Amino acid sequence: MRVDEAIVNDEALFARLYRDQYGEQHLAEAGKYTQDVIDCTTDICNYIYDTHGRLPAHVEAIHVPGIWLQVHHVEERYYEQFFGDGLTEMHRRHDTTWHGVS
């Protein structure tokens, strides 16, 4: 596993992910990482992956205690406003499929 350092500043990627000007706004407002921070993080992640064959090494990737995580009931309006293709049909049909709500 190798990390592409350019992804954190990829204007084309953020333009595809976000709607309207939000990708550009994110890049303008998000903290900028210096190359030494990116290199250090890349080295740590590669060491863990090379040593243990997975990242994270000792917990499930979705195990995030203490961190807010929205799994099932996504806020559709949020994703529709800010992201170009943030929801799947499965997300859109969740209420109908699981709760009988249309």
Residue type, 41: T
Least confident range of 33-37, 59-63, 96-100: 59-63
Residue type, 99: H
pLDDT 10s digits, 78-90:
888 888 887 888 8
Q: What is the pTM of this model?
A: 0.48
Report the C-alpha gap between 6 and 38 in whole angstroms.
10
Report the C-alpha gap between 89 and 67 in whole angstroms.
26
pLDDT 10s digits, 46-63:
999 999 998 888 877 766
- CA distances 18 to 25, 26, 61, Å, are 10, 9, 24
Domain ranges of the chain: 1-59, 70-102
Residues 6+ apart with CB under 8 A from 84: 16, 17, 18, 19
